[in-house]
Structure 1
Amino acid sequence: KIELAHNVITTTKIDESMDFYTQHFGFELVADVGFYKHLRAGEGVEIALMEPNHPSQPPLYQPEWKGQGLILTFQVADVASAYADMKEKGVPIAFDLKREEWGQVHFGIKDPNGIPVDVVQYI
């Protein structure tokens, strides 16, 4: 049985990424060992940031994230408010609020590493 799942982003932009997730999504730093920072935004909502090629890590975990194929999705209670807040803070919007036929409203942004972040409200 899985008790918790979280993503670890290997990046040279740890501080910039931490600022992005704490300022725009309410994450808090809960562990900092220098090369690795663990963030939490409520029960079961966690993300970690890790320097690439750190000698303490097995080779499997060392490469820096370089590309495509990952989307982080954050479900919020009021997507219109989250959208307005991001625009007010000057966060570049990748796509504006969009209502989908399957029952969600969402918009997209990118984190400092270029990772797409889908901000969603189910209706």
Structure 2
Amino acid sequence: MSLNNSLIPMPNSNVMDIAPDDSQHMSLRIELFPTDLPSLVDFYTRILGFTLLRESKGYAYMGRGSVRIGAASAWETVDSHSRMVPTGTEIVLEVDDLQAMRDDVVSNGWPLDADIKRQEWGLVDFRVKDPAGYYSRFTSRSKGECAGRTQNMQ
């Protein structure tokens, strides 16, 4: 299969998406480098509901569902604004119940960077910044949206 044959236009967008390839399972693990590791671990475990899977001196490994996040203490101070879009990384996490996730974050005392909103490209999301300045976007993965997206792609 050539790359051009596997591109699928997303609805209401000029963005192209690659068709899924089920021949080999792939997962994603990211590594973060905070200056305050305990605060980052607290955020991901207490606020976002991750489980601390492993911890050693200067390193933590957390997971929730199929998402894995490793975090190692930064060896030098980094301006947290440099971690923001457009110069940094946006961590996008798809959830089954966006409203429940948003309510959990708020009830655990964490401020939202942007509340739930339908974006111009059609997805619904909310956004937060973690203690190290990494920007996370939570977006819905509802069956209705997936079905609509699939129908619109055909």
Determine the C-alpha separation between the residues in 2 that align with 1:5 and 1:103.
24
For residues 78-105 of structure 1, the C-alpha deviation after alignment (integer angstroms, 9 at most, x for no partner) is: 1112112222222111111111243321
Asked if the contact 1:11/1:52 (under 8 Å) is kept, the reply is yes
* Cα distance in 2 for residues equivalent to 1:27 and 1:86: 12
**What is residue 86 of structure 1 aligned with on the other side?**
105
Q: What runs of 5+ residues in structure 2 fail to find an aligned partner?
A: 1-23, 146-154
TM-score by length of 2: 0.65
8 Å CA contact 1:27, 1:41 repeated in 2: yes
AA in 1 matched with 2:93: F
State how many pairs are aligned. Answer: 113
| Percent of matched pairs sharing the same residue | 27
Amino acid at match of 1:88: S
Q: 1:10 touches 1:65 (CA, 8 Å); kept in 2?
A: no
1:51 correspondence with 2:73: yes
Larger-Rg structure: 2
User: Shift of the alpha carbon at 1:28?
Assistant: 1.1
Residues 104 and 120 of structure 1 are in contact (CA less than 8 Å); yes or no, is this contact kept in structure 2?
Answer: yes
In terms of fraction of residues, the more helix-rich structure is: 2
Cα distance in 1, alignment partners of residues 139 and 26 from structure 2: 24
Q: Within the alignment, does 1:107 sit opposite 2:101 as a pair? A: no
Counterpart of 1:117, as a letter, is S
Aligned pairs for 1:1-123 (under 5 A) are 3-43=26-66, 45-53=67-75, 65-66=78-79, 67-68=82-83, 69-122=88-141, 123=145
Runs of 4+ in structure 1 deviating by more than 6 angstroms, as ranges, are none
Unaligned runs of 5+ in 1: 54-62
Mapped to 1, the partners of 2:93 and 2:123 lie a distance apart of 12
